[in-house]
């Protein structure tokens, strides 16, 4: 019979179409719908965090500069580089990108711009995240940086983080960017990086050229020594072989020619001297030389002596004629003439001797020259052989020298390049201070916080759903307890109410008390309220179950106190009575007889009838304003064994009596979990209605309570979910006509 109550429950997530995906989507929609306030809160918080981040993070500016690796190298010096140029390819550009990123360059810029003293790099960051990170690292780290090296390392890290270098597509252009809080600083740093890079390149070239020139220097010294040795060998050889180079010709040829010409001169001189000697000798054969001879001799002494002689001869001829030949004066003249004649002869002999001498000298000279000529001819023949060897040595010397000169020239070029190296890279567009901040970008932060918040919210919603082990929907009730959910009873609020446009009515204390008392008969006062509808559905469920006759004793119980048993029991009884049914309401919650306290405080009741203190007829009350009969609990104070009383035969017989008189007997029971009483009511109660506080009572507790009371569970008519938050419930299950109920019944002091 009980099986009728328990209808098969469909596995959650399965939709009618059976499509798993649609099922999942549906489930997702439901979960999000139910947890909408949480989802909204989390997304709102994330957006607020994003907004805070935007507000408190200092803006960052990114400056950009582009560098070109020039493939057409500047031909400034119009000469070949000492080292030769590297062919440019993709790898080279990538290499340059890495060089630009290198620590060397970064450190150079840091030092040049004194970034170790820049608070942006060394001080604690101004942003929200950096403050948080700084705080956390401060907790775990050793504290402040001390040595300048540590500071520089830290700055370097921040610097590397803010800088980026990349190749633009497949071009030879590299893009350099730097992010900083100060736009001018970011541009300054980009340009400084480019400068440092170019300087580094130049320095590298300078160093390489310098090394090359040092090597060349050594080689040059060596080559110079070689050239000198070779030249010295030539000179020595020449000296050894008497080869002297003068006026473009070798000494031997020169000498030969000169000796030859000297010989010619000497020979001419000898011939002339001989001729003069022969002439003087022939003249000497005459007594008195002719006037022509005298003139030719060109000797003044002879000319004078001859003219004196000629004068005397004239006079003698005159005087011989005049005075005779033997005249003394004539003879005297002749003596004088003889003396003059002798003098002339002596003089002539002297000249002849001198001529003879001259001749002898000329001949000796000629002979000597002839002799040296013969010598020279001999020598020139022997130097021919040496000449070949000399040429060999000379070519050696020339090679060494030209090699030396070539190296010397290269060396000079290297030295020149050393003082003026050329870089292949240049900054084609220097960085300028950016006008717009590059981060934080409102749209991106917004998007991230929205997406992040959504993910977080969805996660939290699912987590809450999973951990939320309470009952909120009839489906959950059916799934968790395998029993029908008979009704969802809205929580009735008697707080401030809106009574007109902008007018709110705050209920007074009396109104509140009145409302609380009225709650027990709310179905009578507000027959069209949703609460009344729900109570009605409980009654219908009881009727439809076919227990009308056999099971008319209906016990109302719950897991824990205060879930609303008494209110439901009272309203159910009122509903039946109001409709003209014969119904009896019994307060069997002997530990906490709240109904008795409200309707019949201090009046005798169930306990007193069972103990025989009074009769049943004396204790049954008719509640004012209705024809509902009520049996109070009676003198329950300090009764320890209420369960024994409920299980007693007298109670059983009492109920038998009542069963015969009334169509419905509604029994308000105690909760199952803390008190054992309900378990003892198996004999008197036909079926139970189990009250569960909506979203309040834990499923585990309900399951355990029902597990401990199998007789209750077996006779369970179903569950009434009480105190449903209608606003929240509309997210779980659709409650139609919400506004209608609210508006209509506000006048009874409650809002559903
Ligand atoms: N649907 C409802 N909306 C608003 N308040 C309710 C509702 N149902 C019950 N209450 C309130 O909850 C409180 C407890 O109700 P009630 O006494 O009926 O619970 P109970 O389960 O019988 O408690 P106990 O175990 O102590 O007897 C009361 O103040 C009552 O007014
Ligand atoms: Mg109660």
- Is any atom of ligand 1 closer than 6 Å to the C-beta of 572? no
Tally of domains within the chain? 4
Question: Within a 10 A sphere around the Cβ of 322, how many other Cβ atoms?
Answer: 10
User: Is 414 in the same domain as 563?
Assistant: no
- Of the listed ligands, the closest to the CA of 587 is 2
Q: Is 752 in the pocket of ligand 1 (CB under 6 A)?
A: no
Query: Using a 6 Å cutoff on CB, does residue 179 contact ligand 1?
Result: no
Hey, which of 562, 598, 632, 752 would you mutate to test ligand 1's pocket, going by the most ligand atoms within 8 Å of its Cβ?
Answer: 562
Residue 524 sits in the same domain as residue 420: no
Predicted pLDDT of residue 4 = 34
Neighbours of 273 (CB within 10 A): 19
Nearest to 193 by CA among 68, 101, 95: 101
Q: In this predicted model, what pLDDT tens digit does every residue of 380-412 receive, in sequence order? A: 776 667 777 888 888 888 988 898 898 888 888
pLDDT at 636: 67
Do 505 and 496 form a contact (C-beta atoms < 8 A)? yes
What string of DSSP letters covers 387-438? HHHHHHHHHHHHHHHHHHHHHHHHHHHHHHHHHS---SEEEEE-----SS--
State if residue 492 touches ligand 1 by the CB under 6 angstroms criterion. yes
463 shares its domain with 508: no
Residue 168 domain flag: yes
Task: Give the pLDDT score at 27.
Answer: 80
Distance 493 CA to ligand 1 centre (A): 12
Instruction: Give 145's pLDDT tier (boundaries 50, 70, 90).
Output: low
Cβ of 494 less than 6 Å from ligand 1? no
Residue 613 and residue 724 in one domain: yes
- Quote the strand ranges of 528-647, DSSP E: 553-558, 583-587, 621-622, 629-631
Q: Is 592 in the pocket of ligand 1 (CB under 6 A)?
A: yes
Q: Residue 45: what pLDDT?
A: 95
Is 12's pLDDT higher than 90? Answer: no
CB 96 within 8 A of CB 425: yes
Whether ligand 1 lies within 6 angstroms of the CB of 177 is answered as no
pLDDT tens digits along 551-584: 589 999 999 998 999 999 999 999 999 988 889 9
The pLDDT score that the predictor gives to residue 126 is 62
Say which CATH number the domain at 715 has: 3.40.50.300
Which tokens hold the place of 43? 């997304």
In whole angstroms, what is the distance from residue 589 CA to residue 685 CA? 13
Ligand 1, atom 23, residue with closest C-alpha: 562
3-class SS of residue 561: coil
The DSSP-derived string for 65-130 is EEEEE-SS---SS-S--SS-PPPP-HHHHHHHHHHHHSHHHHHHHHHHTTGGG-HHHHS--SSHHH
Q: Is 706 helix (H, G, I), strand (E, B) or coil?
A: helix
Does the pLDDT of residue 11 top 60, yes or no? no
Closest ligand to C-alpha of residue 561 is 1
Reply yes or no on whether the pLDDT at 13 is more than 50.
no
pLDDT at 549 > cutoff 60 = no
Q: Is 571 in the pocket of ligand 1 (CB under 6 A)?
A: no
Q: What is the pLDDT of residue 275?
A: 87
Q: From the CB of 474, is ligand 1 less than 6 Å away?
A: no
Are the CB atoms for 105 and 193 separated by under 8 Å? yes
Torsion of CA 519, 521, 527, 529, to 10 degrees: 20
Average pLDDT of the residues in 14-38: 75
Closest ligand to 690 CA? 1
Q: What is the pLDDT of residues 200-230, one digit of tens each?
A: 988 888 888 888 888 888 888 998 999 899 8
What distance in Å separates the CA atoms of residue 153 and residue 121, rounded to the nearest whole number? Answer: 11
Confidence (pLDDT) at 496: 67
Cα 620 to Cα 630: distance, rounded to the nearest angstrom? 6
Q: Are 725 and 530 spatial neighbours (Cβ–Cβ below 8 Å)? A: no
Establish whether residue 681 lines the binding site of ligand 1, counting it when its CB lies within 6 angstroms of any ligand atom. Answer: no
Which residues constitute the domain of residue 534? Answer: 474-745
Q: What is the pLDDT of residue 471?
A: 87
17 to 10, 14, 20, 394: CA distances (angstroms):
13, 8, 9, 111
What is the distance in A from the centroid of ligand 1 to the CA of 582?
A: 25
Question: Which residue of 489, 532, 566, 725 sits with most ligand 1 atoms within 8 Å of its CB, as the best mutation to test the pocket?
Answer: 566
Ligand 1 atom having least distance to the Cα of 570: 18
| pLDDT at residue 244, rounded to an integer | 66
CA-nearest residue for atom 12, ligand 1, is 564
Burial class for 289, CB neighbours closer than 10 Å (0-12, 13-18, 19+): buried
Q: Measured in angstroms, how far is the CA atom of residue 571 from the centroid of ligand 1?
A: 11
CA atoms within 13 A on the CB side of 430: 9
Query: CA dist 419 to 77, 200, 202, 206, 416, Å?
Result: 12, 15, 10, 8, 5
Tokens (6 digits) for 644? 């024994």
Assigned domain for 659 exists: yes
Whether 431 and 446 map to the same domain: the answer is no
Say if residue 517 is in the same domain as residue 665.
Answer: yes
- Identify which of 491, 518, 519, 748 to mutate to test ligand 1's pocket (most ligand atoms within 8 A of the CB): 519
Q: How many C-beta atoms lie closer than 10 Å to residue 272's C-beta?
A: 13
pLDDT at residue number 364:
93
Strand partners, 693: 722
Alpha-carbon span 460 to 38, nearest angstrom: 8
Whether 489 lines ligand 1, by a CB cut-off of 6 Å, is yes
Residue located nearest, by CA, to atom 11 of ligand 1: 564
752 located within any domain: no
Residues 672 and 593 in one domain: yes
Residue nearest to atom 10 of ligand 1 (CA): 564
Under 8 Å between Cβ of 535 and 523: yes
Does residue 603 surpass a pLDDT of 70?
yes
Kindly state if the Cβ of 558 falls inside 6 Å of ligand 1.
yes
Q: What is the DSSP letter of 581?
A: -
Domain annotation covers residue 185: yes
Does residue 390 form part of some domain?
no
520 phi/psi in degrees, rounded to 5: -70, -20
Does the pLDDT at position 547 exceed 90?
no
- More confident of the two residues 700 and 515: 700
pLDDT at 174: 92
Q: Whose Cα sits closest to atom 9 in ligand 1?
A: 564
Q: Report d(CA 445, CA 683) in Å as an integer.
A: 68
Does the pLDDT at position 104 exceed 60?
A: yes
CA distance 102 to 89: 20
Q: Cβ-count burial of 231 within 10 angstroms (0-12 exposed, 13-18 middle, 19+ buried)?
A: middle
Within a domain: residue 343? yes
Q: Give yes or no: residues 402 and 375 share one domain.
A: no
Kind of pairing between the strands at 249-250 and 245-246: antiparallel
Q: What is the pLDDT of residue 83?
A: 55
* 183/279 same-domain check: no
Ligand 1 in contact with 368 (CB < 6 A)?
no
pLDDT tens sequence across 298-352:
778 888 888 888 898 898 889 888 888 888 888 888 899 889 888 888 888 888 8
Question: Is 491 domain-assigned?
Answer: yes
Q: What pLDDT does 546 receive?
A: 59
**Mean of pLDDT over the chain:** 83
The answer, yes or no, to whether the previous bond of 322 is cis (omega within 30 of 0) is no
Give the number of C-alpha atoms closer than 13 A to the C-alpha of residue 153, restricted to the C-beta side: 6
Same domain, 582 and 661: yes
What is the DSSP pairing of strand 629-631 with strand 497-500? unpaired
Q: Is the CB of 585 under 6 A from ligand 1?
A: no
- Kindly report the length of the chain: 752
Whole-number Å distance, alpha carbon 751 to ligand 1 midpoint, is 16
Q: Which atom of ligand 1 is nearest to the CA of 491?
A: 3
Q: What mean pLDDT is predicted for residues 365-392?
A: 82
Does residue 740 have a pLDDT over 60?
A: no
Same domain, 507 and 587: yes
State whether the beta carbon of 561 lies less than 6 angstroms from ligand 1.
yes
Closest ligand 1 atom, residue 594 Cα: 27
Q: Are residues 412 and 525 in the same domain?
A: no
For 3, which DSSP code? Answer: G
Nearest to 581 by CA among 539, 631, 528, 530: 539
565 within domain boundaries: yes
* 731 Cα: distance to centroid of ligand 2 (angstroms): 30
| Distance in angstroms (rounded) separating the CA atoms of residues 645 and 634 | 13
CA dihedral defined by 614, 620, 623, 624, rounded to 10 degrees?
-60
Q: Give the ligand whose atoms come closest to the C-alpha of residue 721.
A: 1
Check if 608 has its Cβ closer than 6 Å to any atom of ligand 1.
no
Whose alpha carbon is nearest atom 29 of ligand 1? 516
The closest ligand to the CA of 570 turns out to be 1
Q: How far is the CA of 611 from the centre of ligand 2 (A)?
A: 23
Q: For the segment 426-477, what is each residue's pLDDT rounded down to a tens digit?
A: 889 999 999 998 888 889 999 999 999 999 999 999 888 877 788 888 888 8
């Amino acid at each position: 019979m009980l099986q009728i109550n328990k209808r098969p429950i469909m596995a959650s997530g399965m939709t009618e179409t059976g499509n798993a995906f649609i099922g999942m989507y549906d489930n997702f929609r439901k979960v999000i719908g139910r947890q909408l306030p949480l989802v909204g809160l989390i997304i709102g918080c994330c957006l607020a965090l994003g907004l805070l981040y935007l507000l408190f993070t200092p803006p960052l500016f990114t400056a950009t500069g582009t560098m070109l690796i020039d493939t057409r190298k500047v031909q400034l010096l119009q000469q070949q580089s000492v080292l030769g140029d590297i062919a440019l390819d993709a790898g080279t550009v990538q290499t340059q990108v890495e060089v630009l990123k290198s620590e060397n360059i970064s450190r150079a810029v840091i030092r040049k711009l004194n970034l170790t003293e820049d608070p942006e790099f060394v001080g604690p960051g101004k942003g929200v995240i950096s403050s948080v990170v700084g705080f956390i690292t401060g907790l775990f780290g050793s504290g402040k940086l001390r040595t300048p090296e540590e500071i520089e390392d830290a700055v370097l890290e921040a610097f590397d983080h803010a800088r980026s270098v990349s190749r633009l597509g497949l071009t030879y252009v590299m893009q350099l960017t730097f992010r900083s809080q100060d736009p001018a600083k970011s541009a300054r740093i980009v340009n400084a990086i480019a400068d440092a890079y170019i300087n580094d390149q130049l320095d590298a070239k300078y160093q390489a050229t310098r090394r090359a020139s040092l090597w060349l220097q050594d080689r040059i010294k060596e080559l110079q020594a070689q050239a000198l040795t070779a030249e010295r060998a030539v000179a020595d050889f020449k000296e050894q072989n008497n080869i002297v180079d003068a006026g473009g010709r070798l000494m031997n040829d020169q000498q030969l020619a000169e000796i030859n010409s000297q010989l010619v001169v000497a020979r001419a001189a000898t011939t002339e001297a001989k001729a003069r000697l022969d002439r003087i000798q022939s003249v000497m054969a005459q007594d008195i030389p002719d006037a022509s001879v005298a003139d030719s001799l060109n000797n003044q002494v002879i000319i004078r002596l001859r003219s004196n002689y000629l004068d005397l001869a004239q006079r003698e001829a005159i005087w011989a004629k005049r005075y005779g030949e033997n005249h003394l004066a004539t003879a005297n003249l002749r003596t004088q003439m003889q003396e003059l004649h002798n003098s002339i002869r002596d003089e002539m002999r002297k000249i002849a001797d001198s001529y003879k001498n001259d001749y002898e000298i000329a001949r000796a000279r000629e002979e000597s020259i002839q002799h040296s000529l013969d010598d020279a001819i001999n020598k020139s023949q022997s130097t021919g052989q040496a000449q070949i060897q000399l040429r060999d040595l000379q070519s050696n010397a020339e090679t060494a020298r030209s090699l030396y000169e070539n190296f010397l020239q290269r060396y000079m070029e290297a030295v020149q390049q050393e003082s003026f190296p050329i870089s292949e890279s240049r900054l084609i567009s220097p960085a300028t201070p950016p006008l717009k901040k590059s981060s934080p970008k409102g749209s991106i932060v917004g998007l991230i916080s929205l997406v992040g918040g959504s993910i977080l919210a969805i996660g939290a919603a699912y987590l809450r759903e999973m951990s939320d082990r309470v009952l909120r929907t009839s489906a959950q009730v059916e799934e968790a307890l395998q029993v029908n959910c008979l009704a969802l009873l809205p929580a009735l609020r008697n707080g401030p109410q809106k009574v007109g446009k902008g007018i709110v009515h705050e209920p007074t204390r009396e109104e509140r008390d009145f409302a609380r008392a009225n709650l027990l008969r709310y179905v009578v006062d507000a027959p069209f309220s949703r609460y009344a509808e729900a109570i009605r559905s409980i009654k219908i469920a009881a009727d439809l179950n076919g227990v009308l006759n056999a099971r008319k004793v209906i016990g109302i119980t719950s897991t824990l106190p205060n879930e609303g048993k008494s209110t439901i029991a009272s309203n159910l009884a009122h509903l039946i009575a109001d409709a003209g049914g014969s119904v009896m309401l019994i307060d069997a919650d002997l530990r906490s007889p709240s109904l008795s306290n409200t309707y019949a405080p201090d009046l005798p009741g169930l306990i007193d009838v069972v103990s025989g203190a009074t009769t049943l007829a004396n204790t049954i009350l008719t509640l004012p304003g209705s024809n509902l009969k009520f049996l109070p609990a009676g003198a329950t104070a300090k009764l320890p064994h209420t369960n024994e009383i409920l299980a007693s035969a007298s109670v059983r017989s009492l109920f038998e009596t009542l069963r015969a008189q009334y169509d419905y007997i509604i029994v308000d029971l105690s909760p199952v979990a803390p008190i054992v009483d309900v378990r003892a009511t198996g004999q008197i109660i036909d079926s139970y209605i189990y009250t569960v506080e909506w979203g309040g009572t834990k499923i585990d507790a309900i399951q355990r309570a029902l597990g401990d009371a199998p007789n209750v569970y077996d006779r369970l008519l179903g569950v009434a979910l009480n105190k449903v938050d209608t606003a929240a419930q509309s997210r779980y299950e659709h409650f139609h006509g919400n506004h209608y109920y609210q508006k209509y019944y506000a006048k009874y002091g409650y809002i559903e």
